[in-house]
Structure 1
Amino acid sequence: MSKKQLSILVVDDDQELRALLQRFLGEHGFQVRTAENGVMLDKALEREPPDLIVLDLMMPGEGGLSICRRLRAAGETVPVIMLTAKGDPVDRILGLEMGADDYLAKPFTPRELVARIAAVLRRLDPDRAMGRDELVEIGPFSINFSAMSVARGGQALTLSYREFALLAALARSPGRPLSRAQLIDRAMGRDAEVTDRAIDVQIGRLRKALGDDPQSPRYVRTVWGTGYVLANGSEP
């Protein structure tokens, strides 16, 4: 992680919560901006993209799910932590399907949010690259761990943070299947409360981002009874 002050954008319609999180996160070394809705979020992104967005699920007008889906559809890859009003698994799965990178159910303690933010940003650290290699080539894909970028046949691809984290975990074990539990551990951290179903959803998103055939994937393959494996596409 770089030594520059990392910026957080808190998007929530609750003014008191915005003020609380701005003060608390600021005390923990983050540069914090706030927005009360999607319109203000868009203006904030135009001025200066943050390192991470904390996004409330339930807001008047455009809700967090719609905002997250819109950002991902536009190619925005900034990590998003979704705040949900309850711990309903459906809400969590929907949030992940829309492209959120993590979630936190209300009510929560500010210290817990700091821990979640730190866990997500820690996984952006280029020092976690595979050994000393920065660039790995598997099949048609060139994966740059330090730059967190992927190209297929020389054509740059747009992946969300979570999609890249999953691809990186698979790329560190090319040809070797990883279980869903291993993917959760390596891509999201051991403290992540992520279900097997959520991993399956994210794998589907990763396949789409890579241009892999979801009906008969050549690269991100399912190993029944085990998990998933990254292949070079030459195997039958």
Structure 2
Amino acid sequence: MHVLLVEDDPSMRAALQRTLDRRGFAVDACGDGREALARWQARPPDVLVLDLTLPGLDGLDVLRQGRQAGLATPVLLLTARGTVGDRVLGLNAGADDYLPKPFDLDELEARVRALGRRRSTPRDQAGTSELRMGALRLDRDSGAVYSGDAVLELTPRESALLQALMARPGHALTKERLFELVFPGDQDVQYEAVEVVVYRLRKKLAGTGVNLMTLRGLGYLIKAA
């Protein structure tokens, strides 16, 4: 699993890189926000581990600009900012998870692996890396979603939910199954969180020729309008 580690403190960056290397990850590391964004765009990793306080470009700005460019990499925020407001800002900017400092290295590994599993959905029987429906096109290799030629700005959780549904068009997936795919390993999250992701994704699909439908008692499905 390829991890891009962005941490401005040299000693912590070196320690985290050594730890992740020893645990089987292929780690690239840097300590500057602008360099991090350039590396992310040039070679999207499987997981981005991103500190919020960075020189050059703040971590939240790195995250926002990456998402605006269509980068769907799962992002784990490392933050010393302990307030709920700061964590909400990060999640709203497109982060998938956060880990407040100081943290346990075993927990860091577990969260990185959980995010990495989000990118490992099997390909369909035709072996294609691309899914299409209506005006939507989903590139499974990069995680990017297009409406026509334009990148559809989705959070990784929205992208994970859309990919799961597009892999089985016309078939309902239960809330429980979608929860496993969208929130892997997130034991503190309730099943109702899936409804929030569905609500946000449904609004973003308006005008794409694809409808996200709720089937009471069965779950959710998508189909061409």
1:120 match: 115
> Does 2:172 correspond to 1:176?
yes
SS in 2 for 1:41: helix
Show the counterpart of 2:22: 27
Change in CA separation of 1:87 and 1:16 when aligned onto 2, cut-off 3 Å: same
- SS, match of residue 96 in structure 1: helix
Deviation at residue 209 of structure 1 after TM alignment: 4.7
Q: Which moved more, 1:24-33 or 1:129-138?
A: 129-138
5+ residue gaps, structure 1, are 1-5
After superposition, where does 1:132-147 map in structure 2 within 5 Å?
A: 141=136
RMSD, matched Cα:
3.7
The one-letter amino acid of 2:211's match is Y
- State whether residues 9 and 33 of structure 1, in contact with CA within 8 Å, keep that contact through their aligned partners in structure 2: yes
Q: Within 2, Cα distance between the matches of 1:47 and 1:82?
A: 20
Q: Deviations for 1:65-115, whole angstroms, at most 9, x for unmatched residues? A: 222111111222222111232564443332222111222222211221111
For residues 140-219 of structure 1, what are the structure 2 equivalents within 5 Å? Answer: 141=136, 148=143, 150=145, 152=147, 155=149, 157-158=151-152, 159-171=154-166, 172=168, 174=170, 176=172, 178-179=174-175, 182-191=177-186, 193-194=188-189, 199=194, 202-203=197-198, 205-207=200-202, 209-210=204-205, 212=206, 219=211
Give a deviation string over 1:100-132, Cα, whole Å, max 9, x none: 1222222211221111111111222243x5677
Q: Secondary structure at the match of 1:77?
A: coil
Aligned partner letter, 1:176: A
Q: How does 1:69-108 map to 2 (within 5 A)?
A: 69-85=64-80, 88-108=83-103
Identity percentage over the alignment? 37
Q: 2:221 aligns with which of 207, 230, 236?
A: 230
Aligned to 1:53: 48
User: Cα–Cα, structure 1 residues 104 and 174, in superposed 2: closer, same or farther, change >3 Å?
Assistant: farther
Task: Indicate conservation of the 8 Å contact 2:131/2:137, yes or no.
Answer: yes
Offset at residue 21 of structure 1 (A): 0.6
TM-score (norm 2): 0.74
Deviation (angstroms), 1:22: 0.6
- Secondary structure of 2:223's aligned partner: coil
Letter in 2 for 1:105: P
CA contact (8 A) 1:8 1:53 kept: yes
